[in-house]
Homo-oligomer: A and B are copies of this chain.
Amino acid sequence: MVPPWVWQDLIRRALIEDVGAGDLTTNAIFSPESTGALLFCARQPLVSCGMAAVRETYQQLDDRVVVSVVHNDGTMVAPGDVLARISGPSRALLTGERVALNIVQRLSAIATVTRQVVRDLDGLPTLLLDTRKTTPGWRTLERWATSVGGAKNHRFNLHDAVLIKDNHIAGAGGIQAAIHAVKESVGPTVHIEIEVDRLDQIEEALAAGPAGILFDNMDVDTLRTAVFMVGGRAFTEASGGIRPDMVRAIAETGVNALSLGWLTHSAQAVDIGADWEVDDGQ
């Protein structure tokens, strides 16, 4: 569940950006008394995500708007399905439409892509993870979208788990030195994982006792060997260069998890339309 202030802050910035000093077109045409209703309709199959943003957008514009969510976050929706019905003052309905859609189309895209990958993993114990390759300012929301899609969240940021990468290893003077330095420094609740890209690094890493090993950019065969070498002595994760068509093969190596940057950095907006339902009272 996303805390309310995350929606509030992002949407306030979004409205200031998109509405500016007022919606010239809508204010010129509609009186303050005019009312109506908008239907947000899926124009393609998708997994809904971000319906709280619809509520919050209209709450900030005019608290007389009523938002009825038909398909809560995480629902598989067919083309033509109504996601939400929004009714109230016409001015607010039209002024807020683009902000609400921009958010829902983006988050639903991420949830939809994620769900597709999760289906590819059907029947396997492999976890699907997101990454820190999120849109700056959107991390909490985009992680919500991946979790709605069926992924688990990787670390939130640089402070809540350790991931030792090649540059850290170089700086520390070796794999073991790096792991030991981290163990000296961080508290007992912090997950420690190290990234390796060659098989000969695995035993060296395991000797220092990390909680996890990330295999970076390995082909399926190498990865299978790597997982075998670890033999359950650490959590294993595959990342880097994993295209959609490789997901199942990667998972079948037995690796515990795979993490995919493109869930968040390259999901393409899903198509959702806003259809007007004229209100008699208008």
Determine how close the nearest CB of chain B comes to the CB of A257; give it in whole angstroms.
6
Which residues of B lie under 8 Å from residue A29 when comparing CB positions? 164, 168, 171-172, 178, 181-182
Which residues of B lie under 8 Å from residue A185 when comparing CB positions? 24, 27-28
Which residues of B lie under 8 Å from residue A161 when comparing CB positions? 24, 160, 189
Determine how close the nearest CB of chain B comes to the CB of A152; give it in whole angstroms.
4
Number of copies: 6
Q: Does A11 contact B (CB under 8 A)?
A: yes
Determine how close the nearest CB of chain B comes to the CB of A197; give it in whole angstroms.
13
Determine how close the nearest CB of chain B comes to the CB of A165; give it in whole angstroms.
8
Stretch at the interface among A15-23, A221-229, A245-253: A15-23
Q: Does A68 contact B (CB under 8 A)?
A: no
Q: Is the CB of A32 within 8 A of B1?
A: yes
Q: Does A34 contact B (CB under 8 A)?
A: yes
For chain A, residues 108 to 135, give those with C-beta under 8 angstroms from any C-beta of chain B.
127, 129, 132-135
Q: Does A260 contact B (CB under 8 A)?
A: no
Give A189 to B162 CA distance when docked, in angstroms: 9
Which residues of B lie under 8 Å from residue A170 when comparing CB positions? 276, 278
The tally of residues in A whose CB lies under 8 Å from a CB in B reads 102
**Quick one: which of B25, B26, B158 contacts A25, CB cutoff 8 A?**
B158
- Which residue of chain B lies nearest to A93 when distances are taken between CB atoms in the complex? B167
Which residues of B lie under 8 Å from residue A10 when comparing CB positions? 136-137
Q: Is the CB of B156 within 8 A of A160?
A: yes
Contacts beyond the supplied A153-B186, A154-B187, A160-B189: 12 A-B pairs with Cβ under 8 Å: A4-B62, A20-B158, A20-B160, A24-B161, A24-B186, A24-B190, A29-B168, A106-B135, A129-B187, A153-B187, A154-B188, A155-B189
On A, residues with C-beta under 8 Å from B are 1-6, 10-30, 32, 34, 36, 60-62, 90-91, 94-95, 98-99, 102-103, 105-106, 127, 129, 132-140, 143, 152-168, 170-172, 178, 181-182, 184-191, 193, 211-212, 235, 237, 256-257, 261-262, 265-266, 268-269, 276, 278, 282
